[in-house]
Amino acid sequence: METMIKKYQQKFKKVKEHTQTWDELQSLLLSHFRNASSIIQRLQLIQDSKKYGSLKSVDGIEAAVLAKQMDSLQNILFSMDKTLEEFRFIVISLEKIAHDGRQLVRGGGSVQPKIGKLQQRIGIKPSLSDCLEGLVQLHDMHQSEYLLKSSVVSALPTITLGPSESDLEALQQLLVDQPNIPKDEVQFIYDVIFAEDIC
């Protein structure tokens, strides 16, 4: 039983590594989003020929500036898609870890052990069901968050057609907040799993 708990703790350490990568990807995604936002907010302005001042004399300048800005925007959107792929990869890894966790209690077989055994606690160590639930919860949180990020990013091309500063701010806030991954709940899970390390 103790060795099983240790194995689970190893799995949670692996999960932590993945979530650290997640945090790095999060910074990257936010940076891309801010850049995309700046461009989108300027789009209407740069299509207004009255706002070109002395540049009006320079034939073809409007079209050239617009073309360059659209090209930049395309590149940023492409990078965001690539970053989303990396998030998806983490979700898949977390799913695999949770799956392996379930297999661990069955001893590789298909027999579900008794509830009593699963909920047994020795001292402050976590129960087996604490471990299982923790892994599943962490996976579910990140999967929901990935789906949210995905829909925010796919909303961008539509927003480009009718940009609104408040819409963009709202979307950015959603990305920043990560509502599906409440920090205190995550911390609570780790506190239960690694209780003996804390005391």
For another protein, which is the closer residue by CB, 71 or 196?
71
For the bound state, the minimum distance from the C-beta of residue 28 to another protein, rounded and expressed in Å, comes to: 20
For another protein, which is the closer residue by CB, 60 or 108?
60
For another protein, which is the closer residue by CB, 75 or 112?
75
Applying CB under 8 A, the span of 45-53, 104-112, 141-149, 175-183 interacting with another protein comes to: 45-53
For the bound state, the minimum distance from the C-beta of residue 165 to another protein, rounded and expressed in Å, comes to: 14
Q: How far, in Å, CA of 69 to CA of 40, rounded?
A: 9
For another protein, which is the closer residue by CB, 1 or 58?
58
The pattern of x and - marking residues 50 through 69 that bind another protein according to CB under 8 A reads -xxxxxxxxxxx--xx--xx
Q: How far, in Å, CA of 43 to CA of 32, rounded?
A: 17
| Among candidate residues 36, 27, 37, the one with its CA nearest the CA of residue 87 | 27
Quick one: DSSP state of residue 48? -
Q: How far, in Å, CA of 16 to CA of 193, rounded?
A: 12
Decide if 129 contacts 81 (C-beta within 8 A): no
34 binds another protein (CB under 8 A): no
Distance of CA 9 to the CA centre of its chain: 23
**Amino acid present at 128:** L
| Among candidate residues 124, 118, 140, 142, the one with its CA nearest the CA of residue 193 | 124
Looking at 7, 34, 42, 96, which residue binds another protein (CB under 8 A)?
A: 42
Decide if 168 contacts 41 (C-beta within 8 A): yes
Looking at 28, 46, 148, 192, which residue binds another protein (CB under 8 A)?
A: 46
For another protein, which is the closer residue by CB, 2 or 48?
48
> How wide is the angle at C-alpha 113 spanned by C-alphas 107 and 119, nearest 5°?
115
> CA torsion sign, 107 to 111 to 112 to 117?
negative
Applying CB under 8 A, the span of 7-15, 16-24, 48-56, 150-158 interacting with another protein comes to: 48-56
For another protein, which is the closer residue by CB, 76 or 141?
76
Residues that bind another protein (CB under 8 A): 42, 45-46, 48, 51-61, 64-65, 68-69
